[in-house]
Structure 1
Amino acid sequence: MNTTILVTGAAGFIGARLSARLLERGDAVVGYDSLNDYYEPALKLARLQPLRDQAGFRFVQAQLEDRDALEKAFATFHPTHVVNLAAQAGVRYSVENPRAYVNANVVGFINVLEACRHHGVAHLVYASSSSVYGANAKLPFSVRDAVDHPVSLYAATKKANELMAHTYSHLFGLPTTGLRFFTVYGPWGRPDMSPFLFARRIFAGEPLQVFNHGRHSRDFTYIDDIVEGVIRVLDRPAAPDPASVAAPPHPGRSATAPYRVYNIGNDHPVELLRYIEVMEDCIGRRVEKQLLPMQPGDVPDTHADVEDLRADTGYAPDTPLETGIARFIEWYRGYYGV
Structure 2
Amino acid sequence: MKRIMVTGSAGFIGYHTAARLLRDGHEVVGIDNLNAYYDVGLKQARLQRLIDQSPDAFTFERISIADRQQMERVFKEHRPTHVIHMAAQAGVRHSLKEPHEYAESNLVGFLNVLESCRSHSIRHLLFASSSSVYGSNENLPYSEHHSAEHPLSLYAATKKANEMMAHSYAHLYGIPSTGLRFFTVYGPWGRPDMAYYSFARAIVEGRPIQVYNQGRMKRDFTYIDDIVEGIVRLLDRPAVPDPDWDAERPDPAVSSAPYRIYNIGNHEPVPLLDFISILEKELGMPAVKEFLDMQSGDVVETFADTADLRRDVGFAPSTPLEIGLARFAEWFKTYHSVGKEAGK
Aligned to 2:199: 198
Counterpart code for 1:152 = S
Displacement of 1:243 after TM fit? 2.1
Displacement of 1:310 after TM fit? 0.9
Counterpart code for 2:291 = L
Counterpart code for 2:30 = G
Query: What is the DSSP-based 3-state SS (H/G/I as helix, E as strand, rest coil) of the residue aligned with 1:200?
Result: helix
Displacement of 1:120 after TM fit? 0.7
Aligned to 1:327: 327
- 2:107 is aligned with 1:93: no
Is this contact kept in 1: 2:203–2:288, CA < 8 A? no
Counterpart code for 1:25 = D
Is this contact kept in 1: 2:217–2:271, CA < 8 A? yes
Aligned to 2:47: 48
Q: Aligned partners of 2:190, 2:221: CA distance in 1, in Å?
A: 13
Alignment of 1:199-218 (within 5 A): 199-218=200-219
Identity of aligned residues (%): 58
Aligned to 1:24: 23
Is this contact kept in 1: 2:135–2:150, CA < 8 A? yes
Q: What's the RMSD between the two structures over aligned residues? A: 0.9
Displacement of 1:247 after TM fit? 6.1
- 2:260 is aligned with 1:260: yes
- Structure 2 gaps, min length 5: 339-344
Displacement of 1:246 after TM fit? 7.8
Query: What is the DSSP-based 3-state SS (H/G/I as helix, E as strand, rest coil) of the residue aligned with 1:244?
Result: coil
Aligned to 1:289: 289
Q: Aligned partners of 1:39, 1:50: CA distance in 2, in Å?
A: 18
Listed one character per residue, the Cα deviations across residues 157-187 of structure 1 (whole Å, up to 9, x for unaligned) are 0000000000000010000000000000000
Counterpart code for 1:265 = G
* TM-score, with length taken from structure 2: 0.96
Displacement of 1:286 after TM fit? 1.5
Size of the aligned set, in residue pairs, is 336
* TM-score, with length taken from structure 1: 0.98
Moved more, 193-202 or 237-246: 237-246
Alignment of 1:98-117 (within 5 A): 98-117=99-118
Alignment of 1:134-173 (within 5 A): 134-173=135-174
Displacement of 1:124 after TM fit? 0.3
Displacement of 1:146 after TM fit? 0.6
Counterpart code for 2:181 = R
Counterpart code for 2:26 = D
Query: What is the DSSP-based 3-state SS (H/G/I as helix, E as strand, rest coil) of the residue aligned with 2:17?
Result: helix
Displacement of 1:248 after TM fit? 3.0
Moved more, 47-56 or 184-193: 47-56
Q: Aligned partners of 1:29, 1:95: CA distance in 2, in Å?
A: 34
Listed one character per residue, the Cα deviations across residues 59-98 of structure 1 (whole Å, up to 9, x for unaligned) are 0000011011111110001000000000000000000111
Query: What is the DSSP-based 3-state SS (H/G/I as helix, E as strand, rest coil) of the residue aligned with 1:45?
Result: helix
Aligned to 2:299: 299
Moved over 4 A (4+): none
Aligned to 2:119: 118
Q: Aligned partners of 1:126, 1:245: CA distance in 2, in Å?
A: 25
Listed one character per residue, the Cα deviations across residues 95-117 of structure 1 (whole Å, up to 9, x for unaligned) are 01111000000000000000000
Aligned to 1:7: 6
Q: Aligned partners of 2:247, 2:85: CA distance in 1, in Å?
A: 31
Listed one character per residue, the Cα deviations across residues 268-316 of structure 1 (whole Å, up to 9, x for unaligned) are 0001100000000111121221111010110111000011111111110
Query: What is the DSSP-based 3-state SS (H/G/I as helix, E as strand, rest coil) of the residue aligned with 1:242?
Result: coil
Q: Aligned partners of 1:160, 1:292: CA distance in 2, in Å?
A: 31
Aligned to 2:250: 249
Counterpart code for 1:99 = H
Q: Aligned partners of 1:259, 1:318: CA distance in 2, in Å?
A: 26
Q: Aligned partners of 1:246, 1:114: CA distance in 2, in Å?
A: 26
Q: Aligned partners of 2:100, 2:224: CA distance in 1, in Å?
A: 29
Query: What is the DSSP-based 3-state SS (H/G/I as helix, E as strand, rest coil) of the residue aligned with 2:178?
Result: strand
- 2:179 is aligned with 1:178: yes
